[in-house]
Amino acid sequence: MLLESYRVFLRPILPSDASVLFRLHTDPLVVKLIMDGRAPTRAESDARLDLYLRDWDRLGYGFWMVYEKQPGGDLHFAGRCGLRDFDGADRELGYCFLERASGRGLATEASRIVIEAAFSRLGLTKLIAVVRPANIRSQRVMDKLGFCSRGMRVHRGASFRFYELHPRLMQEG
C-alpha cells in the first residue's frame, strides 16, 4: 500500500530498511523526544524493525517509510509514520522524523494520509496516540490532527499523554 501527497511519499517498511531506521532511531532529536534521552543499540533498533514487520504480516498495515519529494523527482528519507497494534484492541498512530525534516509540517502531512487510509481503506473506527509529556511538538501535531486528549496514562512503565481520534471527530473538526 503506497500513500502520497503533494510533498511526501510513503511506502511500507521493508527488512532492508534496518540501517536507515537505525540512523533515524539514533538521530539526536528522536533520541531526545521519543527515546527518552537514550539512543538504542543497533540490536534494539533491529528489534523495533522486527516488530514493525510483524504488524504488516499480521494486520496488513503498519509503519511506512516517509520520503520528502524534491524538485526534479528525487525522494529524501525523512522518517517513519504509521499504525501499530497498541494493546491487541487499539491501533496507535506513531511517527518519528529526522531532525533535518522536523518543524516543516511533514509529520502532520504524513499522519493525515495515514489517518485517511486507516478510516477509509482499512475500516478502523478509532485511533489512539501516546506522547511523552515533554514532547510539545507532537502534542501540537495531535491538536492539528483533531485528536482529543484523554489525560495521562502509564504505558511500558512511563507516563504519556493519551489521545483518541474517531472518524466522526474529524468531520466535526
pLDDT at 111: 97
Q: For the whole model, what pTM was predicted?
A: 0.90
For position 57, which CATH number holds? 3.40.630.30
pLDDT at 170: 52
The domain containing residue 37 runs over which residues? 3-124
Of 120, 160, 167, the residue nearest 145 (C-alpha) = 167
As given in the structure block, the three cell numbers for residue 39 are 539512543
Would 50 be classed as within a structural domain? Answer: yes
pLDDT at 2: 93
Residues with pLDDT less than 70, the chain: 168-173
Phi, psi of 126 (to 5 degrees): -160, 145
Number of structural domains (the chain) is 1
pLDDT at 168: 67
Evaluate whether 169 touches 125 at the Cβ level (below 8 Å).
no
